[in-house]
Amino acid sequence: MNIEQLNKLISKGESHQLEFKKSTGQLKPAFESLCAFLNEAGGTILIGVTDKGKIAGQQVNDKTQQEIAREISKIEPKTSLNVHYIDVDENKQVIVIKCSAGKHIPYTYDGRSYERNQSTTERMSQHRYEQLIIRRGQLNHKWDSYTENDLTIKDLDQEEIRRTIKEGVDINRISAEALTYNIELILKNFKLIEHGKLTNAAVVLYAKDPSTIFSHCMIRLARFRGKDRVGDFIDNLQVHGNAFQLIKAAVDFSIRHLPIAGYFEPGKLQRIDQPAVPALAIREALINAICHRDYMVENATISLAIYDDRLEIWNIGELPPELDIESLKVPHDSYPRNQKIADVFYKRGWIENWGTGTLRMIGYCQNNQTPEPEFAQYKSGFAVIFRFKEAMNTAVTITPPSDFTPRQMEIIAVLKNVEEMSIRDIMDHLQLKPAERTLRKDLNYLKNAGIINSQGQARFTTWYFIKN
């Protein structure tokens, strides 16, 4: 680094990853901040620069270098820091101490651990420190590889396992020969059995009732009245189940509560439906949460909350130190916290190349002509935020009847905005398409309930909403 580069760096001002110290008289707080940088995304300390960004310089001699070396030795686990000296005057220098994100988090300085809060450094809480110690242990043995559970193959949803194989074969990610395998062999090929026992990944993915082992295998679903959690609940659910059950429940809940805007392009008679948030983008965010959540934290769950102006999916589990928010918006490597779980989603075709999930969310929203998702990192977790083009009016929001399924509610939403529609057209407008036989059952159920009606016969039958 030269003086020109130094001035450019100083011009950015103090931040989450940059701090100024006037002199080595502030070595202790400087190294507390370096410890915090190691525990997060890395950072730089400039010694010889005032809080206001003015270069003051620092006289450097053997004693100065020994003092710095002594403070470095107080950091545990041992790590290397880059120390540079930039000439700024005839006998003064600015000391630049730089570190990357640590590979053995959490680090301590002089027996204590630190973290950053915006542009300040704070003592790390004991709870947070213990969480990171556990996570460090996971680097050698991932949570989803553990086999400390008493479930057997009989406790798994074998139909869901078969569906995984079929869908994977259909897209050539699984050999067709696997269609003839027994369940145990399938699980072994997925590496979901180790030493004759089911891994935690097998429980999360396929257990009929994973909550018997892991109470946090659940998702919280809420529709709030207003734009924050102060408002009343319009709907509120807690769903326990395996990963595929949770995803289905959350997508169905979203479809039930999100509005669908309809419009006609000039010169065309075909009505185009535009959901507030594409179902595939929601599903992608949910899969991302399941693959990346920190299952070591048992008192937190994935949550999906719908407000008047947005949908938020929150997950316990921070970004890996190699990534930041901006890197999620461009092609990037993936660092799934739960590799075995992610592998199954990939083989089933529910995710593409690792590292593309956030880009797919953005693409789905762009194709839907709705705002791109926002990504937010908190100390307690990670959130994906889908904002609506227009806020909903809760004054006219109707709570769906409890005896209608999410798909039936979507059928009602489709038919409410047209004169009539054939079963094929209805199918085309549904985001998650059922079998035709299932759709006919739903239509007849709604007809018997007095919500919709039909006219015509056989293939000429059309369906319409009863407006009164």
**H-type alpha helices, 368-420:** 406-415
Cβ atoms 328, 283 nearer than 8 A: no
Residue 45 has what DSSP assignment?
E
Right CATH for 141-398 from 3.40.50.850, 1.10.10.10, 3.30.565.60, 3.40.50.720: 3.30.565.60
- The separation between CA 166 and the C-alpha centre of its own chain, rounded to angstroms, equals 27
Q: Tell me what pLDDT residue 266 has.
A: 60
- C-alpha to C-alpha distance for 283 and 254, rounded to whole angstroms: 10
Closest CA to 145 of 331, 340, 385, 415: 340
Q: Tell me what pLDDT residue 187 has.
A: 95
CA atoms within 13 A on the CB side of 413: 26
Cβ atoms 94, 88 nearer than 8 A: yes
Q: What is the CATH number of domain 400-465?
A: 1.10.10.10
Q: pLDDT of the chain along its 468 residues, tens only?
A: 788 889 999 999 999 899 999 999 999 999 999 999 999 889 999 999 998 999 999 899 999 999 999 999 999 999 889 999 999 888 899 999 999 988 888 999 999 999 998 889 999 988 888 778 776 765 556 788 888 788 999 999 999 999 999 999 999 999 999 999 999 999 999 999 988 999 999 999 999 999 888 888 999 999 998 888 877 888 888 899 999 999 999 998 898 888 776 555 565 555 556 778 988 999 999 999 999 888 877 777 899 999 999 999 999 877 777 777 888 888 887 777 888 999 999 999 998 876 788 899 999 999 888 899 999 987 678 999 999 988 876 544 444 444 677 788 888 888 877 788 899 888 888 876 788 888 988 898 888 777 888 888 877 889 988 875
Is domain 3-138 annotated with CATH 3.40.390.10? no
Q: What does the CA dihedral 74, 78, 80, 81 come to, rounded to 10 degrees?
A: -30
- C-alpha to C-alpha distance for 291 and 214, rounded to whole angstroms: 16
Q: Tell me what pLDDT residue 397 has.
A: 45
User: Domains of the chain: which residue ranges?
Assistant: 3-138, 141-398, 400-465
Q: Tell me what pLDDT residue 142 has.
A: 76
In this structure, the strands spanning 82-87 and 93-100 are antiparallel
Identity of the residue numbered 288: N
Q: Tell me what pLDDT residue 435 has.
A: 85
Encoded tokens for 228 = 């924050």
Q: Tell me what pLDDT residue 102 has.
A: 87
User: What residue has token string 């996570």?
Assistant: 135
- C-alpha to C-alpha distance for 41 and 153, rounded to whole angstroms: 41
Q: What is the pTM for the complete model shown? A: 0.62
Identity of the residue numbered 138: Q
Q: Tell me what pLDDT residue 399 has.
A: 43
Q: Tell me what pLDDT residue 190 has.
A: 95
Encoded tokens for 379 = 């100390």
Q: 271 pairs with which residues across the strands?
A: 264
